[in-house]
Structure 1
Amino acid sequence: MDTTFPDLRRYGGAEAFLRVCKPNTVLGIFTTKWTGLVMGALLDGPRRFNELRRILDGLTQKMLSQTLRSLERDGLVSRTVYPTIPPRVDYELTELGRSAIGVLQAIGEWAGEHADEVIAARNAYDERAREPVRPV
């Protein structure tokens, strides 16, 4: 039995597979459905909370709040409160947030190009899962 391990340098070394790896921690930012969509909605400039809610169909107020709070915490979105009555709050991508847009656009392009294939694979998998188990 071959007990050699693959060269892990191309993955950032063995620590790339560890839960505490810094890049893995940061990659977690982009694993939610709404992160990329909220950041995309902010691409053209600052927006108010309710404007974001109107743009992002299906996003609940609670999830938008959580997503914006998380993005602000991670330094990707800034929140500006204006001293008006009622208070006006704008959300905007930071420079760090803008630097991630290319990656998000690439993922979006890939998703657009391969959506039909992924949906077909899911349907085929679901169809197989409905079949009775057959002994080999």
Structure 2
Amino acid sequence: MPEKILRNTFTVPAPVEAVFDHLSRPENYIGLSPLVVAVEDVQDGSYVAVERFRFLGLKYDNRIRVSLLGTPGKAVWGEVNSPGGVHMAYRFDLTTTPGGTRVDDELRLRTPFGLMAFASGQARKVQLARGIILTERLTRS
């Protein structure tokens, strides 16, 4: 299976504890990942994310089990296995900086042949939006 690594680093003007707390709660991924429209079946260490795609004018809700693990104040990570054989491992490394918290966001994608361009394009859009959305959420008055 082809593999691709996507990286993005951004700074959130909030304490590392606040960033960790936000990223470690499944319900906060609704909208943080623009494709995620709902979270279901929350368990210790995992949940089901409902991703909504539009493809050729049709709406498709993709339910995927997501593992969610972390070390307080240091990192949040997990894995996603989607229908169609798309596998993604994700990791957010958190570092305190004078400006708040640096987030090193890494996604590792593996897909069946022919799906990488679509899957990595969607993942990259989500990854780039995540820094903006997280900053907006954690700096609201």
The verdict on a shared fold, with TM-score over 0.5 as the criterion, is: no
Larger relative contact order, structure 1 or 2 (CA cutoff 8 Å, min sep 6): 2
Q: TM-score, normalised by structure 2?
A: 0.26
Q: TM-score, normalised by structure 1?
A: 0.27
Higher strand share: 2
Choose between structure 1 and 2: higher helix proportion: 1
Structure label with greater radius of gyration: 1
